[in-house]
Amino acid sequence: MKYLPIDYSLFVQNRQRFAAKLKPNSIAVLNANDVMPTSADGIRSFIQNTDFFYLSGIDQEESILLIFPDAHEEKHKEVLFIRETDEQIEIWEGPKYSKEEATAVSGIQTVYWTREFEKVFRALVIEAERIYLNSNEHLRADVTVESRDARLLKWCMQSYPLHKYERMAPIMHDLRAVKSPVEIELIKQACLITEKAFRRLLGFIRPGVWEFEIEAEIYHEFLANRSRGPAYVPIVASGPNACILHYVQNNRQCKDGELLIMDFGAEYANYASDLTRTVPVNGKFSRRQKEIYNAVLRIQKAAIQLLRPGNTFEEYHQEVGRIMESELIGLALLDAGEVKNQNKNAPLYKKYFMHNASHHLGLDVHDFGNKYRKFEEGMVFTCEPGIYIKEEAIGIRLENDILLSRNGPVDLMENIPIEADEIEDLMNVAL
């Protein structure tokens, strides 16, 4: 792996917390991700299933984790199955985990080869009353592609139809929403790599550069700092593209006088960061651009202060909406009287700010978490207000990653330049 070793106690503690939430006499099984194909004999780079990584620390394909807290034998309370290697695999793909290495990474003492799974599982499952299986229950998930977990679910229910089945996803959504100190340090490292990339870009952006050239600079800095690459597809959107929320083509030439939105974040040890900055292509905001930029920045600063334990997404987004309305009225984009009489279910500010201001962040960039759950210490959220004025080809979004603590919000990206004057100074020093 590119990243430095992680203390396996993180995964031991995660499994302990998970096991404590299982019903009595239950066995839980979850899979690593598939290696995804392209066409012919091509494959994509492997990216681990984040639930599987959270509980095992194993970053390898064809792996299975079994957790059976009430197993009769101690050695079967936690069982890991990994891909058996051979000389040909080592020649073509390189080394895979040995059983000893898998134990060192995960803290799991009992390790079998994946080909032994059905035999071992049968011997254990007949002792269990319930089977917990995993599925992707993220609200925005596209589950068109069948995963190894989905295939296991079909096989298991066909092979053992008389067992009681339980959903693993609610447990994982509950556990993963609050980050441990080790997880927070990994997210901080991802944020630090992202900062390095942004500072690199401030010396590179100029009129005439192409969006994909900027994207290439991002990849360079990420890979040079032990990141696998971006935690999500980078958005590099200049001029009118800045008003397309999920623009990822990144194929336009940046022009003098335009703004440039860059939404990107490094992955580190499978943990995500998520940054957005908006800069003037020529290094100098126009008066109108700066006016709107500073309005978005004021909104972000106010919104960050609302990210406190005890708040809820509903209350938070309502308050951010009120702050946004005030700023849009000040920019003469909304009329105060019309806002006062607006349909509360269709607020007028949505014309210029279409998305939510925050989401959970962790192993996934849109990480797991129940939207009705009160905010808690240890949660990590983005804070990303924006104003998009299609008629003026102006799109401005600013985003930082925020840790909730008992003493108030902690900005994990506080060292990344964001003030308009600082952005201009750094860009012009480079020029």
Instruction: Judge whether residue 99 has pLDDT over 80.
Output: yes
**Catalytic residue check, 298:** no
Instruction: Judge whether residue 100 has pLDDT over 80.
Output: yes
**Catalytic residue, candidates 151, 246, 288, 322:** 246
Q: Where does CATH 3.40.350.10 sit in the chain?
A: 9-176
**Catalytic residue check, 263:** yes
Q: Tell me, what's the pLDDT at 73?
A: 97
**Catalytic residue check, 84:** no
- At 14-35, the pLDDT tens digits run 999 999 999 999 999 999 999 9
At residue 398 the predicted structure's pLDDT band, cuts being 50, 70 and 90, is very high
DSSP string covering 51-113: HHHHHH----SS-EEEE-TT-SSGGGSEEEEEPPP-HHHHHHH-----HHHHHHHH---EEEE
Q: Where does CATH 3.90.230.10 sit in the chain?
A: 181-430
- At 232-265, the pLDDT tens digits run 999 999 999 999 999 999 999 999 999 999 999 9
Mean pLDDT of 288-313: 98
Please answer whether residues 267 and 53 qualify as being in contact, where contact means their C-beta atoms are separated by less than 8 angstroms.
no
**Catalytic residue check, 163:** no
Instruction: Count how many Cα atoms sit within 13 Å of the Cα of residue 127 in the half-sphere of its side chain.
Output: 15
Percent of the chain beyond pLDDT 70?
100
Question: What angle is formed at CA 386 by the lines to CA 243 and CA 191, rounded to 5 degrees?
Answer: 105
**Catalytic residue, candidates 149, 183, 274, 364:** 274
Specify the range with the lowest mean pLDDT, choosing from 85-89, 150-154, 183-187.
85-89
How far apart CA 261 and CA 222 sit, in angstroms, is 19
**Catalytic residue check, 127:** no
Q: What sign does the CA torsion over 424, 428, 430, 431 have?
A: positive
Architecture of domain 181-430: Alpha-Beta Complex (3.90)
Q: What is the enclosing helix (H) or strand (E) of 199?
A: helix 181-202
**Catalytic residue, candidates 206, 366, 377, 392:** 366
**Catalytic residue, candidates 215, 399, 401, 411:** 399
**Catalytic residue, candidates 271, 367, 388, 424:** 388
165: helix, coil or strand? strand
**Catalytic residue check, 15:** no
**CATH code 3.30.565.10 for 9-176:** no
**Catalytic residue check, 132:** no
Mean pLDDT of 371-379: 96
Mean pLDDT of 282-297: 98
Instruction: Count how many Cα atoms sit within 13 Å of the Cα of residue 358 in the half-sphere of its side chain.
Output: 35
**Catalytic residue check, 424:** no
**Catalytic residue, candidates 355, 373, 377, 392:** 355
Mean pLDDT of 346-354: 97
**Catalytic residue check, 359:** yes
First to last CA, the chain: 37
At residue 138 the predicted structure's pLDDT band, cuts being 50, 70 and 90, is confident
Q: Tell me, what's the pLDDT at 144?
A: 86
What residues are paired with 380 via a beta bridge?
403
**Catalytic residue, candidates 263, 327, 401, 411:** 263
Q: Tell me, what's the pLDDT at 143?
A: 82
**Catalytic residue check, 366:** yes
| pTM for the whole structure | 0.96
List CB contacts of 18: < 8 A, sequence separation 6 or more.
28, 55, 67, 171, 172, 175
Mean pLDDT of 75-88: 95
Instruction: Judge whether residue 128 has pLDDT over 60.
Output: yes
**Catalytic residue, candidates 397, 401, 411, 424:** 397
**Catalytic residue check, 388:** yes
**Catalytic residue, candidates 41, 74, 86, 391:** 41
Amino acid identity for residue 61 in this structure: E
Mean pLDDT of 365-376: 95
How far apart CA 317 and CA 311 sit, in angstroms, is 10
**Catalytic residue, candidates 384, 401, 411, 424:** 384
Q: Tell me, what's the pLDDT at 63?
A: 98
